[in-house]
Amino acid sequence: MAAQGMSKSKRTTYMAEAFGVRCIPHVWGTQIAIAAALQFLASLPRPTPSMNPIEPLLELDRTPNPIRDAVVREPIEPNEGFMAIPNKLGLGVEVERRALERYSIR
């Protein structure tokens, strides 16, 4: 599903689920990409209620990376294995423009 955008990724996810295949987003990028992945997961329909519900999963790169967290004002951090979905406008994070300029390749 790499670089397909939200709509195509959702279609791919629905197709996979129709064949019993679970899709798990993987994020190796900045906090902006993490916010986008969380919004993507939030946009999917909730699974059918059951005794053992399957929660959505998101795989993250957690190696030290100063750029990842610097590009937003309030980084999204896991808390006991869960991540809150940002609820501000757009993707839910405020971009730190100075950091983008600092780390941009010109």
Question: What's the CA gap between 7 and 13, in Å, rounded?
Answer: 10
Q: Is 92 a catalytic residue?
A: no
Q: How would you write 89-102 as a 3-class SS string?
A: CCCCCCECHHHHHH
Catalytic residue among 26, 73, 88, 102: 26
Q: Which residues are catalytic?
A: 26
